[in-house]
Amino acid sequence: MNTSAQEVAKPTTLRSKSEFLTRPALVILLLAGISMLTRIALMLKAGKDVDYTVTNMLGIFGIGLFYDLLNALYFIIPLMLLGWLTPQRYAGKKGFRIAANTLVFVLLFLLLLNAVSEWVFWDEFGSRFNFIAVDYLVYTQEVVGNIRQSYPVEAIMGVLLVLSVLLTLLLSRLSSRIAFGNWRFGKRSLILGGYFLVVATVFMLIDNKVRQFSSNIFVNELAGNGMYELFAAYRNNELDYNQFYTKLDERQASSEIRTLVATPESHFVDNKPFSIERDIVNPGTELHKNIVLISVESLSADFLGSFGNTQGITPFLDSLARESLLFTNLYATGTRTVRGLEALSICTPPTPGQSIVRRPHNEDLFSMGSVLRKKGYQARFIYGGYGYFDNMGYFFGHNSYGVVDRTALSKKDIDYENIWGVADENLFELATREIGLAVGKGKPVFAHIMTTSNHRPYTYPEGRIDIPSHTSREGAVKYTDYAIGQFIRHARSESWFNNTLFIIVADHCASSAGKTDLPVNRYKIPMLIYSPGFIGAGIMPRLMSQIDVGPTILGLLNFSYRSKFSGYDIFKLEEGRERAFVSTYQSLGYIKHDSLIVLKPQRMAATFLPDFQDGTSRPTSQNKHLLGEAIAWYQSASYQFRNGLMRK
């Protein structure tokens, strides 16, 4: 009788056990394991770029585990809430187990998908998820399309689904075997309250700066956790310069920026704080030539034979360089297309956070389009993709440009397209048509053309070049070179050719990753100015920023105009005043002479001696004069945008 009673009581005891904490604990272990395997895989991928010292290895795996556990605290919130809300009498029921296992399956699938996504992102950018990844979440159609065209997505997703099912079954079995005792609602509530107190404390007191312990940027990236970094980037996608960066007294910064922008051909028109509005006076007759500005996607200087490349992937540009004015010491302001477009259109240093192209209240700014429209030009931004991407269409459309994008082409006009846009040859055919229409109206044209083909998945029409489509970036570079060559050769037969200034420049480099936070060699871009009979062939070796391109073009055409640009006309600038700006969304760099000043959040500032060949930087004593200049440039640009001083 007693034995029978024990047998009856035994199932009741089992049913009273709870998986309230068991299931989240097992998910934490799985998350830590998957994150550690991801870290090892990314470290192997980084290879020789990582400094394999004992200190760095301890940091990568020790700090890395710390961030994995922090991420796990946030990740298990749905499981904790489910366990808390489920009455104990239902905890062992079939319906609850189905719901719990479904939630676990979703979480595990997200973990595995995140691991694969981190590999893909690292392959493209050499880093964990960051501000770029946050931006990409907004444009899911283009990004998902790009991934589908670059990788066997269906096969990968199938494998991830199978793994998720197997891991869910394993976790379900383990959690039922090692379930804890009965947790009534009051006790669960107490535990949940303590848990959320820990989460809130972590959220308030800990950020992603702990991992930044090494001078090697790859080591710091590996010490992070991708999912945690994604949300950290989301929280910091727009940074207030005054709140986060070293600054000068406003009166001092205002005085300093006016000194820095003053040039022999300019005269200030007012004394307002931070105002750089001035009249630019160039002698001689104004030359209202057509201007065709081609910003080439991801065209690093070291792709060109003119800069030492021996692969022969830019045969046309190398031949054109011999007939052009070639700029050999030009630096992009950032690592994204929108940064390049910002620099080329409104000629301002980069401000922390996202580009002005993507910010609210970016309408009616003083731009190349507004200057040239006052000179009687028809300004066009011509793009092979859809203008809504990265807010490009809105930005240019509200800043004195007419926008012409992929929608202007019919199906018969497109030989090839991928998720980013039409093939560059079709883009240039569209540009030729638009330039012809504009010139036919009797007005000069300013056409800013933005290419897309040099972008993963590196696909283009077959048979154009000797590298098959979808094989490498080198193939995409060579195809873009082919398309530009076809455009220039065709333009030579047009009536407007002899009255046109062609400028070919990159938007940014192909890769910004390096051992240091701002590897200067990953910002060097080429620029050619081609105009037979007007611009003689030659080399311009002076240090130059991407924000100087606009004022230099206007100076070549002898334009006098009222300016709010921060850029210099390099031909009017006195020797020794050259400088350049390089940046990520948080780190702001200032290059002058042989020094690099780097400004970071938490009011950090440092001076380095960079190696312009390999991108490494050696810390040196603080140069107070250059530091003051760097602060003045960046503090002023942020103030001017926030306070409407960039408006026309």
On average, the pLDDT of the chain sits at 92
SS3 579: coil
pLDDT of residue 237: 62
pLDDT score of 127: 84
Contact 349, 547 (CB under 8 A): yes
Spatial contact of 146 and 420, defined as CB atoms under 8 Å apart? yes
pLDDT of residue 140: 67
Residue 434's H or E segment, with its range, is: helix 424-440
Alpha helices in 178-285 (DSSP H): 185-205, 217-222, 226-235, 241-244, 250-261
Give the pLDDT mean for 65-84: 95
> Residue 135 pLDDT more than 80?
no
Percentage of residues of the chain with pLDDT beyond 90: 79
- β partners of residue 403: 381
pTM, 2 dp: 0.81
- Within 8 A by CB and 6+ apart from 342, the residues are 333, 334, 348, 350, 355, 356, 357
Contact 114, 156 (CB under 8 A): no
Q: How far apart are CA 422 and CA 345, in angstroms?
A: 23
d(CA 491, CA 320): 14
Amino acid at 83: G
CA 625 to the chain's CA centroid: 30
Cis bond before residue 457 (omega within 30° of 0): yes
- 90 Cβ neighbours under 8 A, 6+ residues apart: 96
356 DSSP 8-state letter: G
pLDDT at 381 over 90: yes
Q: Which residue has the higher pLDDT, 455 or 477?
A: 477
* Closest among 511, 515, 512, 513 to 56, alpha carbons compared: 515
User: Which residues, 6 or more positions from 263, have their beta carbon under 8 angstroms from its beta carbon?
Assistant: 568, 569, 572, 573, 574
Convert 483-534 into a string of H (helix), E (strand) and C (coil).
HHHHHHHHHCCCCCHHHEEEEEEECCCCCCCCCCCCCHHHHEEEEEEECCCC
Domains defined along the chain, listed by start: 12-235 (no CATH), 243-525+532-538+565-642 (3.40.720.10)
List CB contacts of 148: < 8 A, sequence separation 6 or more: 419
Rounded Cα–Cα distance for residues 547 and 414 (Å) = 33
| CA–CA separation, 296 and 384 (whole Å) | 12
Buried-exposed string 481-504: b where 16+ CB fall within 10 A, e elsewhere: bbbbbbbbeebeeeebbeebbbbb
Number of H helices, E strands in the chain: 22, 19
- In the numeric block, the tokens 């895989």 are attached to 41
**pLDDT exceeds 50 at position 12:** no
Q: Three-state DSSP class for 67?
A: helix
State how far the Cα of 636 lies from the Cα of 648, in Å rounded to an integer.
Answer: 17
Neighbours of 4 (CB within 10 A): 8
pLDDT of 533-572, one tens digit each?
Answer: 999 999 999 999 999 999 999 999 999 999 999 999 999 9
User: Which helix (H) or strand (E) is 629 found in, with range?
Assistant: helix 624-642
d(CA 518, CA 520): 6
Distances in Å between the alpha carbon of 499 and those of 7, 323, 554? 99, 16, 15
Average pLDDT rounded to a whole number, residues 64-91: 91
Q: What is the pLDDT of residue 236?
A: 62
Q: Alpha helix locations (H) across 262-336? A: 315-321
From the list 311, 260, 123, the residue with the least C-alpha distance to 574 is 260
Picking from 364, 366, 404, the residue whose alpha carbon sits closest to that of residue 385 is 404
Residue 647 pairs with which residues in a beta bridge? Answer: 365
3-state secondary structure 112-161: HHHHHHHHHHHHHHCCCCCHHHHHHHHCHHHHHHHHHHHCCHHHHHHHHH
Contact 579, 628 (CB under 8 A): no
pLDDT of res. 9: 42
- Output the pLDDT for position 133: 77
What pLDDT digit, counting tens, does each position of 354-371 carry? 899 999 899 999 999 999
pLDDT tier, 142 (very low <50, low <70, confident <90, very high otherwise): low
Give pLDDT, residue 517: 85
Give the pLDDT score at 180: 66
- Does residue 13 have a pLDDT over 50? no
User: Residue 240 and residue 638: Cα distance in Å, rounded?
Assistant: 8
Which range has the worst mean pLDDT, 199-213, 477-491, 568-582? 199-213
Indicate if the pLDDT at residue 485 is higher than 70.
yes
Asked whether the beta carbons of 435 and 496 are under 8 A apart, the reply is yes
User: Rounded to whole angstroms, how far apart are CA atoms 230 and 135?
Assistant: 10
Q: Residue 487 contacts by C-beta under 8 Å, 6 or more apart in sequence?
A: 425, 428, 431, 432
Instruction: Give the span between the Cα atoms of 336 and 507, in whole angstroms.
Output: 7
Per the listing, tokens 């060949």 go with: 613
pLDDT digits (tens, 9 = 90+) for 300-323: 999 999 999 999 999 999 999 999
pLDDT of residue 413: 94
